[in-house]
Amino acid sequence: MPTKMRRSLLGYLPVDSPIFSLHPMTRLLFLLIVSAYPMIVRLPELNVAGSIFMLALFRVSKVDLRVIKNYKMAFVNLFFVIAIAYTFFGGYNPDYRVLIELGPVKVCWENLRWAMVVYIQLIFAILIMIFFLSTMRERDIVVGLRALRVPFVLAYMAGLALRSIGLSIIDFNTIREAEKARALDLQALPFSEKVKKFGMYIVPLVALAIRRSDEVSNALDSRGFRFTGLKSGKRTDYILSKYRMTKLDYAVLAGMGVFLAGIILISIYTDWLALESSLLYRI
């Protein structure tokens, strides 16, 4: 029997994924709390451990790991951007160990080490975001925000913004196919021509976006939606009422909170999480 799937912001997820046993608010707070870890912790070993933990979470939540493959070029590009940025603009100190000299540019170990530290931090952060987008639906975000007492207008706008990204990608592909059918293929053109002809994509894309916003506005009015600013007025939270916080939610939230507090306290009162504790600094 085929597995029933549920559409997420970044793909599909089996309906029996354990992640769905958590309240959308817990999943939303997961993004907010766990995203703070790589921002606080610079120690590469801990961020590598975090990345491995995220991969395990992908597996446990039954997220298709192929979703990460879609971003492999982004990971590679990110590495080169960071490496180049730190190599050429990382500064120079006479204490630095020079690995290679490329004309006036000195490639130093210390700068490369910084590049690696930042890159590993970003990998952890990106994996958290991919996991979030792979397991959340627009509905979950609206419910999560409403559970956090965020005004409906803001919650709905957040959901609409996320959806509009997807719709714009669909529109862009449609325009690209239409342009190709009329013998305009940007991929086959040199870079300067690509830039010049990009307007051919942008103009219809913007026109479509304006038309879509007009249609959404008419549809909202026709369904009796009244813009009441940040006050939700008499609106009923029917969808929100279908979700209940469970002991598991409280346990996960407590675990994440305690871990975050622990990291903050350790980084303030000890040097265990300092970069000097890293193996990279012993090389």
What is the contact surface with other proteins in residues (CB under 8 A)?
6-7, 15, 137-139, 159, 163, 212, 215-226, 233-239, 241
- The pair of structure tokens assigned to 117 is 């530290």
d(CA 136, CA 130): 10
Q: Closest CB to other proteins among 197 and 212? A: 212
Length of the chain: 283
Q: Are 41 and 49 in contact (CB under 8 A)?
A: no
Q: How many CA atoms lie within 13 A of 7 on its CB side?
A: 5
SS3 label, residue 38: helix
CB count in 10 Å sphere of residue 265: 10
Q: Closest CB to other proteins among 23 and 137? A: 137
* Residue 7 beta carbon to other proteins: minimum distance, rounded to whole angstroms: 5
* Residue 151 beta carbon to other proteins: minimum distance, rounded to whole angstroms: 14
Q: Closest CB to other proteins among 24 and 90? A: 24
Q: Closest CB to other proteins among 81 and 219? A: 219
Q: Closest CB to other proteins among 216 and 274? A: 216
Closest by CA to 140, choosing from 3, 248, 13, is 13
Q: Closest CB to other proteins among 89 and 238? A: 238
Terminus-to-terminus CA distance in the chain, angstroms? 54
| C-alpha 187: how far from chain center | 27
Closest by CA to 113, choosing from 163, 43, 191, 205, is 43
* Residue 164 beta carbon to other proteins: minimum distance, rounded to whole angstroms: 12
Q: Which helix (H) or strand (E) holds 106?
A: strand 105-108
